[in-house]
Chain A
Amino acid sequence: MSVITLNNENFEQEVLQSRTPVIIDFWASWCGPCRMMAPVIDEIGESMGASIKVGKVNVDENQDLAEKYEVMSIPTFVIIKDGKETARTIGVQPKEEILKLI
């Protein structure tokens, strides 16, 4: 499944009501570490098929979502299952470490 761009309009449906677990990548274009993680996140989105959903939140454009999830450092990756946060991790890391959280 390709990576979804998340915002206020689609967050409820794509994340909170999702039947599959969702990885949210909170990022910004001016953040070097986020930039380095972009291909890793894309790869997770492509390789995991329909078993998981991958969404990106650009914190510049969606400050309220970043605030709601108390993101204070980017990149932050949050795992949501059945509408609830089950895990999160911060910073550059290999794909496997993120997949472990699911």
Chain B
Amino acid sequence: MYDVVVIGGGPAGITASIYAKRRKLSVLVISKKETSLFKAEKIENYYGFPQGISGEELYNNGIKQAENLSIDIVEDEVVALSSNEFNEKNFENKADEKIFEIETVNSHYQAKAVILATGSNRLLPNIKGIQEFEGKGISYCAICDAFFYKGKDVAVLGSGNYAIHEMQELKPIVNSVTILTNGDKIVENRDVDISKDEKVQVIEKKVKEFRGDSKIQEVEFEDETKKDIQGVFVAIATASSNDLARKIGARIEHGHIVTDENMETTVKGLFACGDCTGGLLQISKAVYEGTLAGLAVLR
């Protein structure tokens, strides 16, 4: 078990890991090697680079710097985050020590504290009904809401490993799961073979609209075909800090994770820093917040 697992290897995550490591904590950084930095061809407003620096180079430098400090780094994708507080036994009798469980595509890890630094979440696709039916068939948490869809036909909106994970949460409870990739190709997941599964269907057509009266009843595709569904679980791309934070019960306001002055979320031991907390989407701000989180974690 690690003292701290940092999810995200950009400026916020790496800075947090460096400060935590300096405090003699054992630290693991899980990074998907996907960052908004890659979009920055040349960064000219960050301190200390008179010729500017490309986002990719800055990112790679950060990873190298952490490796030089003997911080463990793995390239993987986190699909679920939970803590031992949630199992039934500990719900009544508080656990002695809080342990976070971090599930990735390839492995799973345990930590006493977690720092979320995966950047800002992507915008929701522009599908009609997705906001209108939130809580009326649109859900962002399979593990929370699967219960209400016992024996029903549901869909997962997404095409990556996160969508596959949500499908697996739902499958034992619901009648069928349709993965709606909304025009994308479904990810190749070496552990899960969907093609042989009678309960699971993949539709790679573009989605036009979710429809219903008081609740969702059907999905319409851009080619005007339709399918009956009673619930849609949104799991687009990679599980973002927001997705992970929401499921573990951290408060989110206006699409950003709420933290205190030390970057701790409303869940004890869970920190968030960088773009996922809102405010300026700047490297300097991510580094500052990473510093705060790295200094405050497990203090």
> Chain A: residues with CB nearer than 8 A to chain B?
28-37, 59-60, 66, 70-74, 76, 90-94
Contact = CB atoms under 8 A, between A and B. Distances in A.
A92 B231 contact: no
Contact of B251 (A32, A59, A70, A94): A94
Most chain B CB within a 10 A radius of its CB, from A32, A93, A94: A32
Contact of A73 (B139, B252, B267): B139
B141 A35 contact: no
Contacts of A33: 141, 144, 246-249
B82 A32 contact: yes
Contact of A29 (B91, B266, B267): B91
A70 B143 CA distance: 18
B52 to A, nearest CB: 41
B246 A91 contact: yes
Contacts of A60: 147
Contacts of A30: 86, 88, 143
B236 to A, nearest CB: 18
Interface in B106-139: 134-137, 139
Contact of B135 (A36, A37, A76): A76
A76 B252 CA distance: 15
Mostly, the B contact residues are mixed
Nearest to A88: B135
Given A29-B91, A33-B249, A60-B147, 9 more contacts: A29-B88, A32-B86, A34-B249, A36-B250, A36-B266, A70-B136, A72-B135, A90-B135, A92-B249
Nearest to B250: A92
Interface of B: 82-83, 85-86, 88, 91, 134-137, 139, 141, 143-145, 147-149, 214-215, 231, 246-252, 266-267
B214 A35 contact: no
A79 B35 CA distance: 42
A72 B148 contact: yes
B249 A32 contact: yes
A71 B141 contact: no
20 contacts: A29-B88, A30-B143, A31-B144, A32-B143, A32-B247, A32-B248, A36-B249, A36-B250, A37-B249, A59-B147, A70-B214, A72-B135, A72-B231, A73-B141, A73-B145, A73-B148, A76-B135, A91-B252, A92-B249, A94-B251
Most chain A CB within a 10 A radius of its CB, from B134, B149, B231, B249: B249
A72 B246 contact: no
B79 to A, nearest CB: 15
Contacts of B137: 72
A66 B148 CA distance: 9
Nearest to A75: B144
Contacts of B136: 70, 72
Contacts of B91: 29, 35
A31 B248 CA distance: 8
B249 A73 contact: no
Contacts of B139: 72-73
A102 to B, nearest CB: 19
